[in-house]
Structure 1
Amino acid sequence: MSTPGISELTRLRATRPEAITEAARRRRRRPLLAGNGRMMIIAADHPARGALGVAGRPHAMASRLDLLERLCVALARPGVDGVLGTPDILEDLLLLGALENKVVVGSMNRGGLAGAAFEMDDRFTAYRAADIERSRFDAGKLLLRIDDTDPGSLATMVGAATAVTELAERGLTAMVEPFVSRRVDGRVRNDVSVEAVIRSIAIASGIGATSAYTWLKVPLTRDVDDMARVAEATTLPLVLLGGEVSGDADATFQRWHKALRLPSVYGLVVGRTLLYPPDDDVAGAVDTAVGLL
């Protein structure tokens, strides 16, 4: 069967849902780390949390066809190793043939909807470890936000520990994204001070029955010079969370470049910043980020 165009996805889903399983079975896989031993992953799991805005554009991610087109452009660029997403997005990309020889990371807990009263109780509503294994994907990503004043954080932590254990039992990587967080004026804010990032790493490193397959996805601290202290907080492999690009994009890219020089940092995970750059040049933004590796 030929690869469907984006406009044909709905018809294919309606008439041949089994095509998703068939595409997953055929997909050519690759090692987590290849080539230069670094990893560039495009993140696209924001919509499942109801987070559709990008840098002043509140509904930028509302069009699924537009998002898929941007993802296909990004994944086709040299040096892009893979993608992180929820089942709906990854299955579309499977049908489009965009995941061949790519690292595929399934996003697991999306229940903490952006702005919801229960945001800190981030239930596992997307992939389970068994689903990631069955789909022949390579890793599972989970968000672990820790708010000492919100009991929902404990439920999230227990779910995260279970996911880490179940992924490891299958020899699959757990990519854990930890934050010390708090609710301010009804919104959850992540603390990226060096002390908070180190504390979140200490907690995330110890969850689950084994850390053998655990990687940590960590943010840049406010002062990039402090990232050396962050890297010393664990022996687990690290990837950087790219986050938002400031008004001075060159300065942001230089901060990423400096942090990527640390020996325990193996790559970069960036989403909306590269998929929706101010000039809408997805290829150019992705190529710039790849060059930092």
Structure 2
Amino acid sequence: MTTLDFAALRETRAAHPERLAEIFAARVRRPLIKDDGKLFIVAADHPARGALGVGSNEHAMADRYLLLERLALALARPGVDGVLGTPDIIADLALLGLLDDKIVVGSMNRGGLKGASFEMDDRYTAYDIHGIVRDELDFAKTLVRVNLTDPGTTLTLESTAAAVSEAADAGVPIMLEPFMSEWVDGAIRNNLSTDAVILSIAIASGLGNSSSHAWLKLPVVRDMDRVMASTTLPTLLLGGDPTGHQSDTFAAWDSSLQLPGVRGLVVGRSILYPREGDVAAAIDIAASLVHGA
């Protein structure tokens, strides 16, 4: 990936920050949905929440240059439709010239920092709808963790409802990633049982004064047919932190992608930092599952 001009990126950030607005304005955009109706989005919004780990490596995503190289590799592979990130990541990719003809998803609430006592108070500290419209991005994304024993959930739900309403007014598709969450030994754990995922969908789907532009981003769990029977919203599947054998993960994705309402994948760590080490191969397999060989 020696073609990435990091020196020019740093110089532009320091001396010509106005160039970023020009790049966004000139970016070649594409339709959200193309012929097969599927999307494969690579996610990279984890660092802004203080989540740098992948598997047993707690600092896997700490090297920004390595992350950008892997994102560049992903965006160059056939079948990758776009990228999801916070403003810093999206700006880096724009300055490197990597966002033309790609779906760009702006991540919004990153304030519930991993491991913090206030983790459930998931403040909107990254993109807002105004910023997404300003930069002519294609999609918004929110994290909606619901903890019935933590009052921080109230602000998250209220802020998310406002974001969903603003997205509908602006005509911006917005991706809701809901979980039922709980405190376990001082840390937040998402409940990935089928019933908990269905409950989280019911809560998230009712947020805002209009669901016209709402999508879901859901984990792959047991009985995904029951999960998908609980919603009519277009749904993308998330990858999560890689565990177990990669072949088992791909098989679970493949099965779930066949269900009605499932529109594709939004995957980050499990393909950018695959356990088997071959980034391009992991990306190509995931792309083939979404779009076909």
Band the TM-score falls in, shorter-chain normalisation: over 0.9
Q: Residue 67 of structure 1 aligns with which residue? A: 67
1 CA distance for matches of 2:109 and 2:27? 25
Q: After superposing the two structures, state which structure 1 stretch, 275-284 or 11-20, moved more.
A: 275-284
2 CA distance for matches of 1:277 and 1:48? 21
Identity of paired residues, percent? 56
Q: Residue 136 of structure 1 aligns with which residue? A: 136
Encode CA deviations 1:24-54: one digit per residue, 9 max, x unaligned: 0000111111132100000000000111111
1 CA distance for matches of 2:206 and 2:127? 22
1:28-47 to structure 2, matched below 5 A, reads 28-47=28-47
1 CA distance for matches of 2:92 and 2:274? 23
Q: Residue 277 of structure 2 aligns with which residue? A: 280
1 CA distance for matches of 2:179 and 2:84? 19
Aligned residues: 288
SS of residue in 2 equivalent to 1:292: helix
Encode CA deviations 1:213-253: one digit per residue, 9 max, x unaligned: 000001111x2xx1111111111111101113332111110
Encode CA deviations 1:75-117: one digit per residue, 9 max, x unaligned: 1100000000000000010011111100010000000000000
2:256 to 249, 256, 259: 259
2 CA distance for matches of 1:9 and 1:272? 24
Question: What's the TM-score, normalizing by structure 1?
Answer: 0.96
1:58 aligned partner, one-letter code:
E
1:246 aligned partner, one-letter code:
T
Q: Unpaired segments of 5 or more residues in structure 2?
A: none
Contact 1:42–1:82 at 8 Å: present in 2 too?
yes
Q: Residue 81 of structure 2 aligns with which residue? A: 81
1 CA distance for matches of 2:224 and 2:64? 36
Deviation at 1:256, TM superposition (A): 0.5
1:243 to 230, 240, 260: 240
Contact 2:173–2:213 at 8 Å: present in 1 too?
yes
1 CA distance for matches of 2:159 and 2:205? 15
2 CA distance for matches of 1:35 and 1:77? 18
Question: What's the TM-score, normalizing by structure 2?
Answer: 0.96
Runs of 4+ in 1 over 3 A off after TM superposition: none
